[in-house]
């Protein structure tokens, strides 16, 4: 692969469990909010032209009952690759060609895109400035 990694837009909205309503309210200014037929909040990001978006960063949240503030750590090199390998798109692949391609693609992504782990204070309640602090911490 060459150039910057891109991702497809995917689903137009993210359905959140009731326990995430407070967090959803914090992001309400940047996203449209509605309710799904099963009563969940649905967050829809602002419209973006096109089906492909540049991948600016990957954030791996780690909810933590023992922390009171965000702890952001940027992973590099093999640490980033190992972290990404922990989240396979499909479990159980055994075909060597598929596994090789997957490993190569994740290696390329880990080299091109910043990967972060973030220890997040357990919630709810969530701090009002949590989304802004997270974006600031990853430099976005």
Q: What is the pTM of this model?
A: 0.73
- pLDDT tens for 50-108 read 778 889 999 999 999 999 999 999 999 999 999 999 988 788 888 999 999 999 999 99
- pLDDT tens for 37-48 read 887 778 777 666
Cβ pair 97, 38 in contact under 8 A? no
Q: Can you tell me the distance from the alpha carbon of 45 to that of 31, in angstroms, rounded to the nearest whole number? A: 5
Cβ pair 134, 60 in contact under 8 A? no
């Amino acid at each position: 692969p060459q150039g910057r990694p891109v991702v497809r837009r995917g689903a137009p909205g993210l359905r959140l469990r009731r326990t995430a309503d407070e967090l959803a309210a914090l992001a309400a200014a940047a996203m449209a909010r509605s309710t799904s037929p099963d009563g969940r909040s649905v967050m829809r990001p602002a419209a973006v032209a096109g089906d492909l978006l540049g991948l600016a960063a990957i954030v791996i949240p780690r909810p933590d009952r023992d922390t009171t503030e965000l702890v952001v750590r940027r992973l590099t090199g093999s640490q980033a690759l190992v972290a990404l390998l922990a989240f396979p798109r499909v479990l159980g692949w055994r075909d060597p060609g598929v596994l090789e391609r997957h490993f190569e693609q994740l290696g390329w992504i880990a080299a091109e895109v910043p990967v972060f782990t973030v220890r997040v204070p357990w919630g709810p309640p969530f701090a009002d400035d949590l989304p802004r602090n997270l974006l600031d911490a990853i430099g976005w």
